[in-house]
Structure 1
Amino acid sequence: MALTDMASLLRDHRAVGAFNFVQLELAEAIVLGAEEAGTGAVLQLSQNAVRFHGGLAPAASAALRLAEEASVPIVVHLDHATDEALVDDAIALGVPSIMFDAAHLPESENLERTRAVAHRAHAAGVWVEAELGEIGGKGGAHTPGVRTDVADAVA
């Protein structure tokens, strides 16, 4: 079990909880809860959490260690990273999953940057999630009644 990759976790579980953490105690609680439930989980680090810790290595290294020692499959995931250097740092540290978010860029540039990130990540065996199109922040996609445009999703 222990530290796993996203493809394996999703193949083996019908639903997976993904939880952002800032402090190590919360990451420990997430792993403990997953162990008690007997299911896998995703430990997510956001760019804000990375800034809080003064860099990626402290929190990511701790999360990777927690995942390695867990009795259930745990994925460590860099969530909504807009900084490509941070993505590259995560890949170098052995973070097995990243979410690259270039939705703030024009669509063609978003696709170009996402393609480049995915190429580097995949070469290292890292799972990539990306935000193509605009999810939005407060309000936006979270406003009641807002739905994904089917034509955009197909494209």
Structure 2
Amino acid sequence: MPLVTTGELVTRAVEARSAVAAFNIITLEHVEAVIAGAESVRSPVVLQVSENAVKFRYGRLLPLARAAVAAAERAAVPVALHLDHVQSDSLLRQAPDAGFSSVMYDAARLPYAENRAATRAAADWAHAQGLWIEAELGQVGGKDGRPPLDAHAPGARTDPDQARAFVADTAVDALAVAVGSSHAMTTRTATLDHALLKRLSGTLDVPLVLHGSSGVPDEELTAAVAGGIAKVNVGTALNIAMTGAIRDFLAAHPEAVDSREYLSVGREAMVRTVAEILRTLGAPPTA
């Protein structure tokens, strides 16, 4: 079916009091696995390409984006394409022509005033192109010289009043918040601050996004969705599944040289992981 927009999927999730899952893709196997997993449970899904993934692909966005678009257009469920953690304005401006309906603009490394100004400029440009834009606000740097912490840094927490002002000043469509998850966790041991999430949900009038969800246990994810999270980002969990399956296959078949043999095993492991996460989230139906 034709590509849908991330904004449409997130809006539908908010209305259904559920969350749409957004999976970071690196290879064609990731693309195929995410779509196959979503199809197996009849759930919409977002394919995310991060700036780091673009760097891995020799700095070229289009090869992976074109593959994702082609696969999405043949999917049996709604699929959206999202450009994730963009810091480069040059990369941001490639999004519309590459098939992306949304971007996450990441200026959290900057001092608050600069973050706000850069994000507002990105939002104004994105909206003029018809793009839905997500930003993040972790923990503003302190007067004692402490640097700002982004929304997925260990220990970061988003202040509801600062978040309300940030959303108003930047006009973003969604906000990733810091409530206890961290990127690149390989164990599911994160404990979320649900009291803070409740305050953020009650304070903000835009959908909330959870980054670093691979390290969050099922029951914590379920509670986060009930508490107002409408978009859940997942990346490391797919890589754990793929790498583990390939490692086991090669250990059992040291003579293997055909990459299709072990890549197919890795892809199927990711399919199962995608389906499990979507079942946990209770993602909105396809129609």
TM-score range, shorter chain: 0.7 to 0.9
* Aligned equivalent of 1:6: 6
Aligned pair count? 150
Instruction: Give the equivalent residue in structure 1 for 2:43.
Output: 39
Report the TM-score, using the length of structure 1 for normalisation.
0.87
Q: What is the TM-score of this pair, normalised by structure 2?
A: 0.49
Aligned to 2:237: none
Residue in structure 2 matched with residue 144 of structure 1 by the alignment: none
1:90 and 1:46 map into 2 onto residues whose CA distance is 12
| d(CA) in 2 for partners of 1:120, 1:94 | 16
Structure 1 window deviating more from structure 2 (75-84 vs 2-11): it is 2-11
Which segments of 5 or more consecutive residues in structure 2 lack a partner in the other structure?
A: 139-148, 166-287
SS in 2 for 1:95: coil
**1:137: Cα distance to partner?**
5.1
2:245 corresponds in structure 1 to none
Question: Residues 14-93 of structure 1: matches in 2 within 5 Å?
Answer: 14-54=18-58, 55-93=60-98
> Which ranges of 4 or more aligned residues in structure 1 deviate by more than 3 Å?
none
Cα offset for 1:59?
A: 0.9
In the alignment, is the contact (CA less than 8 A) between 1:34 and 1:40 conserved in 2? Answer: yes
In 1, the alpha carbon distance for the partners of 2:123 and 2:153 equals 27
Q: Is the 8 A contact 1:2 1:71 kept in 2?
A: no
Asked if 1:149 is matched to 2:154, the reply is: no
- Tell me if the contact between 2:6 and 2:80 (Cα under 8 Å) persists in the aligned partners: yes
Query: Which residue, out of 97, 100, 103, partners 1:95?
Result: 100
* Alignment partners' CA distance in 2, 1:138 and 1:104: 11
Structure 1 residue identity aligned to 2:7: A
Distance 1:131 1:15 in 2: 17
Structure 1 residue runs of 5 or longer lacking an equivalent are 142-146
Rg larger for: 2
Question: Are 1:132 and 2:137 an aligned pair?
Answer: yes
- Distance in 2, matches of 1:138 and 1:152, equals 17
Deviation, 1:115, is 1.3
CA RMSD of aligned residues (A): 1.7
- Cα distance in 1 for partners of 2:41, 2:103 equals 25
Distance in 1 (alpha carbons) for counterparts of 2:87 and 2:155: 19
Once the two structures are overlaid, the 10-residue window that deviates more, 50-59 or 9-18, is 9-18
**Identical-pair percentage:** 47
Q: Which amino acid aligns with 1:16?
A: V
Q: What SS does the aligned partner of 1:72 have?
A: coil
Find the residue that maps to 2:29 and give its secondary structure: helix
